[in-house]
Amino acid sequence: MSSWKRYIKDFTSYLKIEKGLAANSVLAYENDVKKLEDFARARNLETETITYTHLKEFVKELYDLGLSARSQARIISGVKQFFQYLLMDQEIDKDPSNLLEMPKIGRMLPEVLSIQEIDLLIDTIDLSSKEGHRNKAILETLYSCGLRVSELVHLKFEDIFFNEGFIRVIGKGNKQRLVPVSASVEKEIGIYSENIRNHQEIKPGNESYVFLNRRGAKLTRVMIFTIIKNLAAKAGIEKNISPHTFRHSFATHLLEGGANLRAIQEMLGHESITTTEIYTHLDQSFLKEVILSFHPRSNSN
């Protein structure tokens, strides 16, 4: 077995077992490193003989292929992780990727709803319809807990601890986190359960799921997306929104209210703080106001 095959195999085992990454994340890293392997094999290079100059050539090749800056950055990140692992495992004496720079990426800021727009969406719900109270509970939960849509559709009653004031969320990679739950979420889930869900015929295997469709089965991601799109159109909101918009709004409003970035990271279930840091770019006027109010050099007098 060549050093490439052996090291990539060991690297993926490390990501899976020691770092506990999800299968799709491990596969993504593996594919990134295999791109470097293809480049190296064409030049008869083994992992131990790769230099910083070789890696710069590799990055130039990615650019010449027409890959976006974001795709280039993801591949380079995977390559860096690979060499950091080899250095840690003492397979190499020096990390050739240490000085490798990431391409500059234009930050794509997610769409965010104002508090007034969220209230408008919720007020648009027809509570006289059979799905009304369910839909209101869905929106309150998405916004108040910052859930991913997949986390919402898989939410079970056994994960709700209203007396203790939190819900247990099963996130990416089957990782669990605890998220504080608001009184509004408790109220709306209670109304929905008591008036609608408890009177439904529930399909076998779906008994523990909180949110059900009219046939008594677990809701799908597409159904949540459709509910939100229809409500946005009815409310006259022209922003391109999705279930994830409520998660972005949750994080942004917490930040604007003064919440610690690390706390937001924990509640969102982000593995890296850099993922959470995008929210610091969403409201520059708010950040400017904070600096002008509290920084010791802000007062020119």
- For the CA atoms of 145, 148, 151, 157, the dihedral, rounded to the nearest 10 degrees, stands at 20
Catalytic residue among 172, 177, 187, 203: 172
Question: At which residue do the structure tokens 């993504």 appear?
Answer: 28
Catalytic residue among 134, 247, 248, 253: 247
In the residue annotation, 134 being an active-site residue is answered as no
The active-site residue, picked from 80, 133, 253, 270, is 270
Rounded CA-CA distance 63/285 in Å is 35
Distances (CA, A) of 122 to 41, 108, 142, 190: 57, 27, 12, 17
Q: Annotated catalytic, 239?
A: no
DSSP per-residue string spanning 15-29: IIIIS---HHHHHHH
Catalytic annotation, pick one of 74, 133, 148, 248: 148
Does 244 qualify as catalytic in the annotation?
A: yes
Query: Which among 16, 56, 203, 244 is annotated as catalytic?
Result: 244
What backbone phi and psi angles, to 5 degrees, belong to 50? -70, 135
Inter-residue contact 136 to 189 (CB < 8 Å)? no
Catalytic residue among 7, 143, 209, 279: 279
Residues with a known catalytic role? 148, 172, 244, 247, 270, 279
